[in-house]
Structure 1
Amino acid sequence: MQWFSILAIYGLFWVLSAFLVMPFGLRTPDESGDKVQEGHADSAPVNFRPRKILLRATLLAAVLFVVYYENYVNGWITLHDLNFFGDPPVKDLGY
Structure 2
Amino acid sequence: MAIKPKNITTDGKREMTMQEFRAWLGRFDTDKDGKISRQELSDAVRGAGGRFAWWKCRQGLRSADSDGNGYIDANEINNLVDFAQKHLGVRIVNF
Q: Which has the larger radius of gyration?
A: 1
More helix by percentage: 1
TM-score range, shorter chain: under 0.3
> Under a length normalisation based on structure 1, what TM-score does the superposition of the two structures give?
0.26
More strand by percentage: 2
> Under a length normalisation based on structure 2, what TM-score does the superposition of the two structures give?
0.26
